[in-house]
């Protein structure tokens, strides 16, 4: 069973921790957590009965197989790069990193180390947009000549406790 180590215990972590110990608990094992805010990692470790590491470097030296990176995006490159260099699989929430060149470097090292890289591409590759793409590609609406888009809520400013990184 693959052991998951979670880097970043913030706003989105509860749903991941609940799912890793709930619906996916027979497929993977939530093994460890870490966060720069030690009190958050300590609480998550106690709540989910897993090991808490005082640093990400400690987690990299452990026997976890996959690092789940749910830190703010500005840290994704550094976390993913360290993970693949350490021979760990990496999965990042929302985006792998903020620069294409950095993503390519991570992918190249992952290939060399024979580890996998994944991220939550829901924004662009999610079911809704892919369905729209298929309908257009298959000619359901004819040839598009113009488009418009609407953002259906006020964005993260009204619900996220630290939305600046968005």
Residues 18 and 82 reside in one and the same domain: yes
Helices (H), 34-116: 38-48, 56-60, 76-85, 100-113
Residues 111 and 30 reside in one and the same domain: yes
Residues 78 and 134 reside in one and the same domain: no
Residues 19 and 31 reside in one and the same domain: yes
Q: Which of 38, 42, 34 is nearest to 8 (CA)?
A: 34
Domain, as residue range, for 145? 126-165
Query: What distance in Å separates the CA atoms of residue 23 and residue 51, rounded to the nearest whole number?
Result: 20
Q: What is the pLDDT of residues 3-20, one digit of tens each?
A: 999 999 998 899 999 999
% residues pLDDT > 70 (the chain) = 96
Residues 69 and 139 reside in one and the same domain: no
* Average pLDDT of the chain to the nearest whole number: 91
Residues 142 and 91 reside in one and the same domain: no
Residues 111 and 156 reside in one and the same domain: no
29 pLDDT more than 90: yes
Residues 118 and 131 reside in one and the same domain: no
159 pLDDT more than 80: no
Q: Are 56 and 70 in contact (CB under 8 A)?
A: no
Residue indicated by tokens 């259906």: 152
pTM value is 0.80
Q: What is the pLDDT of residues 67-82, one digit of tens each?
A: 999 999 899 999 999 9
Q: Are 80 and 117 in contact (CB under 8 A)?
A: yes
Average pLDDT over residues 22-34: 94
Q: What is the pLDDT of residues 30-78, one digit of tens each?
A: 999 999 999 999 999 999 999 999 999 999 999 999 999 999 989 999 9
What are residue 18's DSSP bridge partners? none
Looking at the structure of the chain, the number of domains it has is 2
Residues 23 and 100 reside in one and the same domain: yes
106 pLDDT more than 80: yes
3-state secondary structure of 6: strand
11 or 159, higher pLDDT: 11
Give pLDDT, residue 71: 93
Residues 136 and 83 reside in one and the same domain: no
Residues 94 and 141 reside in one and the same domain: no
**Banded pLDDT at 95 (limits 50, 70, 90):** confident
Residues 117 and 134 reside in one and the same domain: no
- CA distance to 76, 85, 150, 152, per residue, from 121 (Å): 14, 23, 19, 19
CATH of residue 6: 3.40.50.720
% residues pLDDT > 90 (the chain) = 69
25 pLDDT more than 80: yes
Task: Indicate the residue among 122, 141, 157 that finishes a domain.
Answer: 122
């Amino acid at each position: 069973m693959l052991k998951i180590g979670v880097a970043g215990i913030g706003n989105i972590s509860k749903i991941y921790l609940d799912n890793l110990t709930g619906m996916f608990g027979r497929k993977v094992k939530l093994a460890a957590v870490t966060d720069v805010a030690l009190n958050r990692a300590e609480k998550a470790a106690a709540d989910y009965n897993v090991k808490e590491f005082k640093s990400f470097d400690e987690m990299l030296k452990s026997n976890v197989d996959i690092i789940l990176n749910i830190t703010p995006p500005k840290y994704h490159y550094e976390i993913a790069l360290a993970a693949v260099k350490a021979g760990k699989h990496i999965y990042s929430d929302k985006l792998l990193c903020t620069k294409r060149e950095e993503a390519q470097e991570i992918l190249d090292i992952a290939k060399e180390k024979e580890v996998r890289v994944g991220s939550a591409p829901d924004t662009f590759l999610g079911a809704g947009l892919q369905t729209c793409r298929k309908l257009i590609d298959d000619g359901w609406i004819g040839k598009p000549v113009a488009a418009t888009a609407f953002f259906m809520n006020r964005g993260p400013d009204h619900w996220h406790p630290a939305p600046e990184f968005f």
